[in-house]
Structure 1
Amino acid sequence: MACMDLEMANEFRNLLDRDDLPEMIMEYDTTFNLGNYYVSWITFRFTEFMETEYSPMPTIGLACLIHLKKLQSSHEYFWNMVKEEIPEIASSKKLLICTDQEAAIVNAIERYVFPNIPRARCHIHAWKDQKMKLRSLGISSRSELAKYRSHFYELLHQKSYIEYCAVFRSFQRNSMNTEFATYFEKHIHPDMNSMGIWSLERYNVNYLLLTNRSESFNALLKRRFVKTRAYAEDEMILGSYEIVRRQLLRIKRARFGLGENWLLRRHLQHLYKLTDNTELGNIAICEEMDSIHIEEGKETEMVKYTICKMIS
């Protein structure tokens, strides 16, 4: 089952390929403990707001997939639904998709749905893959793993791809297990130029990407769905609808500086001035109406979602 709030889709569409905003990042991650199924969310950075140490750019939920098995066909179906609703993604020149290295996800996105959109690999998942390989080679002591982890993150924090290559060759010659060095060159090195900090400046990002930066979004899921594996699909849909509608209200409030810590970019602030009480009243009405609809849980309000059949 695939769900997307069409108003949020329109907000996303309005951020694409803007010359006055940083390039966009979408993230795709799967959570396992909400029900007897998987829930995969597409989230995105809302680039109208600034990225600061104390006020990070918000991560917003765009669409979710409820699926029983982790199949490539399920991810293809879902991403094709997103493509149908937001066809502008396919031709975007200022978009990056961050995922883990799960073959079903990578193949669905890169080969069949958005072959022309660059993809970055989550560094946490990349390190987990390396740690598994090291242990298979008998390198499992805490100090040895810490050394390899330190090397990996030192490589990621180089200032350029050229500097990364030079440091990698040094590690390869002097401190890497030969078999692991071969593994790294084949399975990790090809993704380093999209994972490294040097490659992320164009997205107004000065830290490494991870799919669970949607962790800030996953935290919303965990607060909404507090019981482990206890929710039916209809409860998941309604709860997800609630989260996305709340985020839409937060966006509207933050644009006008009303009680949110998301900081609107300076050059956009003149567009959202409360010159009278009209806009404030509109926000209050939207908030009240959404609260009523969410509390009542009416199926009729779910027309704002694109609801598709359950995928096995």
Structure 2
Amino acid sequence: MVGPRDRDLAYQTEAYAEAGHYGTTVVSPGFKSTYGTFTYRYDVEGRDYKIKKIPFYSIVGAALSTDVGFKREVFYHPEIPHRVLLVYMGDYTLAKPHCHGNAKSEKKKNENFVPTNNSTKERLKNNQGFPSNEYRKELLMGSTNLLEQLVNVPRDMEQVRNFQKAERRRIALTQDLNYNLQEIADDTKFIQEIVSYLDVAIFMYDKELWDLIKGLLNRNDLPYMALTVDTTFNMTDAYVTVLIARFTEFDECPVIPLATMVHERKLCKTHRFFWKKVKQFLPELFKANNIFLVSDEEKAIVNALKDMLPDVPAFRCWNHIFTNAKLKLQKLKMTEQKIQSWYVDALEYLFGQKTELEYYKALNKFTSNSSLWHKEFTEYYRCIEPEIDRTGRWVLGKYEHKRMTTNTSESINCLMKRFNEWKERPIDSLYLALYNLSKTFIMEIIRGRYERGEYTIREEFRKNYNLVEDAPNPTYLENPETEVKIFARLRVAKKNVEAAKESAANRVAGETEKLDDDEGFDEVPTYARATEVISKDGIRIDGKAQCFIVTGTAENRIVTLFPKKTCSYPATTTCYHILAVQIAVGIGDTTTKRPKNSTRYRKNAKKLADPDIIWRQP
């Protein structure tokens, strides 16, 4: 609908039309022989009659939708299908301005609604960057004519957000994030375990990447491999803990994300789960003699390491000790930068001693003189002192380090956030982003070994990699599927399975085979019925339909166990068809009451970590 203030825009003679718009045909004699024509529906009518929220005629009045005093005719040439001629005829004052049908604020209700060009809409859908950035890009690309900007430029950032959100919902497998995650995990094999109750915890690693890193273990011709672990956030509605390894075959010793856990709360038991899975899936890692671990002061991580990996050399990050010391000084009202710097320098001086004896001599100078250290800070340091065997330079010398930090973890956290364009993603989208990121590291390692890319292979190992005589496995360089392609393929696979099940149901419905009609069988307990079916070989598998076919007393039934137990028999409880299949595959009756479990991936559902864990900026 074009109102009086938009009449200059209305009389543009060229525009691009889209197939599928329809209406009455009004052709002037002069154009009929060469041009065809069709009339677009008014915006007050919409493209169809499906009502979404408040229909336009409720806002502008139903009578206007039938007024033909002002028309828009579109003439098109049969040989130039995309170029059209627009002609507006009649009294344009009959066109009543109206707001958008979903307008809520007074400002929006008082604005005349002008639809955005389809080409602009498509650009907004396909560009999934920050809405503010995409909006400003569109402004830079827009026309200098403000009337043209009404249709060529998005109205505001909210419109950009809405189109991006609609596109993400369109390409998603379903709107259930948990279901999507299960399907993608089964397809890519990147996720190894998912725990959804009581606390969400998802463990994942790339097997191909692990095979490459495993080749660096227990080697005397390489430096010690530093493993660091840290937890970050602002990537999804949960925390992300990453185990990072240095790939020591290259001069740069680049950092590689080895294993990842997405979890809801920073608890000791959650981190124990993480290390338990690391030991289960990467057992060779902690049997190696050329590795060591570095972590921050987060109590949940430190305690989990002591419980699960007591024999692995583990060290504390100096930077986190300094940061926590500054927080303690702030509590003691010592907020001046000069004072805090002095205390941090004192700690660095202590940790940097070459021998343990020199350390204790230096420590005695600080603790025995109240003019050097505040009494309460001395008490605070007593909590740090037991960890000195995991901190001092005299211990680190064996591993060719003068100080220990988790800077590598911070750098990989930054890389992951950059890869996600600094946006919080839904859990399924984050998973695919981490999966694709691991594939890029595999490609970079292979390229570096053959003297391509960013990494430089050590001089003594270059002879081991000859592109002609020893070409790399091509599977390492395969392009991973995008999120859109994975969802599309899984959607097609789901439809094929549903079609196969329907076909199997139709096929089974026509079968006459059934169990012998024993007298009084209906009164036999469910378990006895199930064992009777098994004893008479009444179960078979339909691989194409991914289901079991159970021969019943009346007719055959289709049974599935995963992801949900279903049976074509309309029973309100577990029927003997399902029970027979469970017994046959050896899992018995697993019917349990479903636990109460609210949405687990929402910010306001997250609880704080252990009370004694100090919050810190990532």
Give me the TM-score of the superposition, normalised by structure 2.
Answer: 0.44
Match of 2:288 in 1: 92
Say if 2:459 is the partner of 1:266. Answer: yes
Match of 2:303 in 1: 107
1:290 match: secondary structure: coil
The one of 239, 244, 260 equivalent to 1:38 is 239
1:48 match: secondary structure: coil
Q: Distance in 1 between matches of 2:386 and 2:302?
A: 14
The aligned runs of 1:1-312 (5 Å cut-off) are 1-50=202-251, 56-111=252-307, 113-174=308-369, 175-184=372-381, 186-206=382-402, 208-228=403-423, 230-260=424-454, 262-274=455-467, 276=468, 279=471, 286-287=476-477, 289-291=478-480, 293-294=481-482, 298=486
Letter of the 1:279 counterpart? A
Distance 1:256 1:205, change over 3 A: farther
Q: Does the CA-based 8 Å contact 1:44-1:60 persist in structure 2?
A: yes
Q: Distance in 2 between matches of 1:129 and 1:79?
A: 25
The alignment covers a number of residue pairs equal to: 289
Deviations 1:82-123, CA, capped at 9 Å, x for gaps: 111111234333321111122221122211x21111211111
User: How much does 1:278 deviate?
Assistant: 6.2
Q: Alpha carbon RMSD of aligned pairs, Å?
A: 2.6
Distance 1:34 1:18, change over 3 A: same
Distance 1:195 1:222, change over 3 A: same
Q: Distance in 2 between matches of 1:256 and 1:161?
A: 45
Match of 2:538 in 1: none
Q: Does the CA-based 8 Å contact 1:122-1:210 persist in structure 2?
A: yes
Distance 1:13 1:286, change over 3 A: closer
Distance 1:248 1:198, change over 3 A: farther
Deviations 1:138-168, CA, capped at 9 Å, x for gaps: 3222221111011112223333333333322
2:242 match: secondary structure: strand
1:34 match: secondary structure: strand
Q: Distance in 2 between matches of 1:10 and 1:22?
A: 19
1:18 match: secondary structure: coil
Q: Distance in 2 between matches of 1:203 and 1:297?
A: 45
User: How much does 1:20 deviate?
Assistant: 1.6
Deviations 1:57-96, CA, capped at 9 Å, x for gaps: 2110001111111122221112111111111234333321
Q: Distance in 1 between matches of 2:397 and 2:340?
A: 29
Q: Distance in 1 between matches of 2:232 and 2:268?
A: 16
Distance 1:73 1:16, change over 3 A: same
Q: Does the CA-based 8 Å contact 1:220-1:243 persist in structure 2?
A: no
1:273 match: secondary structure: coil
Letter of the 1:298 counterpart? I
| Sequence identity percentage | 31
User: How much does 1:252 deviate?
Assistant: 1.0
Letter of the 1:235 counterpart? S
Give me the TM-score of the superposition, normalised by structure 1.
Answer: 0.83
Q: Distance in 2 between matches of 1:108 and 1:194?
A: 16
Q: Distance in 2 between matches of 1:273 and 1:198?
A: 42
**Greater RCO (Cα-Cα under 8 Å, separation 6 or more):** 1
Q: Which moved more, 1:212-221 or 1:88-97?
A: 88-97
Q: Distance in 2 between matches of 1:96 and 1:69?
A: 26
Distance 1:202 1:296, change over 3 A: farther
1:12 match: secondary structure: helix
Q: Distance in 1 between matches of 2:427 and 2:326?
A: 35
Q: Does the CA-based 8 Å contact 2:226-2:245 persist in structure 1?
A: yes
Answer with 1 or 2: which has the greater Rg.
2
User: How much does 1:28 deviate?
Assistant: 0.8
Higher helix share: 1
Distance 1:127 1:267, change over 3 A: same
Distance 1:294 1:205, change over 3 A: farther
